[in-house]
Amino acid sequence: MTLTFDKPTYQSLLAEVAPQAIETEAEYERLLKVTERLVFAKNLSPEEQTLLKLLVTLIEVYETANYPMEKSPPHEILQHIMEVSGIRQADLIGIIGSSGVVSEVVNGKRSISKAQAKALGKYFKVSPSLFI
């Protein structure tokens, strides 16, 4: 059974939440609370799903402008992915090179080549651009 989108219901949700471009920390906090409630709710209606997408977009725009993140060096990204995946340096031997090359890459003593980035992206199922 496919649920259909009900425009009056969505308009009612919009009127209740009154989302707008976030310009203050108070508005940011308010919309975060609404978003959290929707994220953890079970069985969202199509209208609630649409509202959630809108709120996430507004929050991302605000966070990008107000909380910019510095890009981590590629070897630190690799270290993090290895840690959360339970992968050891020995597991990368043959994927990006010998044990010496793997050690140098993981420890940031050697930069990651495009070919190695592609191999790492394929191995971890992520974008190779993370490692460049």
**pLDDT tens digits along 28-79:** 999 999 999 999 999 999 999 999 999 999 999 999 899 887 888 999 999 9
Number of domains making up the chain: 2
Q: Which of 66, 83, 116 is the last residue of a domain?
A: 66
User: Residue 19: CB partners within 8 Å, gap ≥ 6?
Assistant: 31, 51, 54, 55, 58
In which domain, by residue range, is 56 found? 7-66
User: What is the distance between the alpha carbons of residues 13 and 72, in angstroms, rounded to a whole number?
Assistant: 39
30 and 59 both lie in a single domain:
yes
CB atoms within 10 A of CB 37: 11
User: What is the distance between the alpha carbons of residues 94 and 67, in angstroms, rounded to a whole number?
Assistant: 39
Q: Which of 16, 48, 66 is the last residue of a domain?
A: 66
pTM above 0.85, yes or no: no
Quickly tell me which residue has 């070897």 as its tokens. Answer: 75
